[in-house]
Amino acid sequence: MNEQNIELSRKETQAIDAQIIESLVQTQKFFEQRFIGQNTNNEFFKNIIKKLKIFDDHNLLTDLLEILDKNFRIEGADKGEGEVVAYVEELLLLINNKMSLLKNSEKFFDEQEEKEVIKNWTEKAAMLELRCFVSCDFLSFILRKSREIQM
């Protein structure tokens, strides 16, 4: 029975991995379409990426950071880009928060604050029409995956 549970868990993990990877692919496509031709030299964003790489103990997190780093380094806050940068920064803080739990280091949000941030995050996604995040339920995959790593 125990071996069956392990096998089921493995299959569930693979299914979640596949969904996260699909979400990452859609996210990458979104960034390529949204910011095509944009200047890709934003030190602020690069610094967030560097900071989060401290928690790099999982390939999917690395993939996410690389996609964001490659496709989402933009300059200027005109045409709404500043809002999107702030939105992505919030996403990265949430991921950082989850990864810090895995490393038993300081976290940014307690449970109630995290729920509030997730609620705001989802509303902003809809408001900014970042459909790749809303339709893929991107954040919940990341959070579920990090809980799974934690176990």
pLDDT digits (tens, 9 = 90+) for 11-37: 665 665 565 555 555 555 555 455 444
The domain segmentation of the chain, as residue ranges, is 2-150
Q: Is residue 64 within 8 Å of residue 142, measured between CB atoms?
A: yes
Please give the pLDDT value at position 38: 46
Q: Mean pLDDT of all residues in the chain?
A: 52
- Going by C-alpha positions, the residue among 67, 80, 59 that lies closest to residue 40 is 67
The overall pTM is greater than 0.85: no
